[in-house]
Amino acid sequence: MTAPPTAPTSDGALIAESRADPEAFATLFDRYSGMLYRYVSRRLGPEVAEDLVGETFLVAFARRKHYDVAYADARPWLFGIATKLISRHRRTEAARYRALLRSPAEVIVESPANRVAAGVTAQASRPALARALTELSARDRDVLLLIAWSDLSYEEVARALDIPIGTVRSRLNRARRKVRAKFGDLNPMHEEE
């Protein structure tokens, strides 16, 4: 007779366990390193992402004694650490966006036709989006990208950046307004009818 599958251990419980058994922390790395890598890679490029993700987990491991284990989900904490580390690489991030401005749009040919049209439109919008991102303040850009690229909720972004939720909402609103203005207040992903 096989045992019923057990629910995965919460992040808070793993961090608490890792205080006595450091090996338990490896499970967090397995759960979130890919997610953090994608986020950092989009912001700074793949050349820096692997090192910065490793540094994020080193910082998290060193600070695990201070983690409030009442929070079952450690993603906001980890993304907060990564975002603070990214701030040390602002010049790299700005250079990446400038490079995106200069690079030609890649044409992706796939089927069905709607996906192709959406892909071409998105690729054509890339320079304008890169320009809009470079013109945002670092604080507004952090909030926008944590929500857009990491799928964190407003509450999780507030926890990640250690700011009030109202500040998250105002920064996101300001960032969205500025990005929308770069597109003439139109969403380039929606076709005009």
pLDDT grade for 19, boundaries at 50, 70 and 90: very high
- pLDDT, tens digit, for every residue of 5-15? 556 789 999 99
- Placement of tokens 């080193």 in the chain: 58
- pLDDT, tens digit, for every residue of 26-67? 999 999 999 999 999 998 888 889 999 999 999 999 999 999
| Helices then strands, each counted (H, E), the chain | 9, 0
Whether 25 has a pLDDT exceeding 80, the answer reads yes
pTM above 0.75, yes or no: no
- pLDDT, tens digit, for every residue of 104-124? 555 444 444 444 444 444 455
The 3-state DSSP class for residue 114 equals helix
> Where are the chain's structural domains?
11-182
pLDDT, average across residues 82-96: 79
First to last CA, the chain: 60
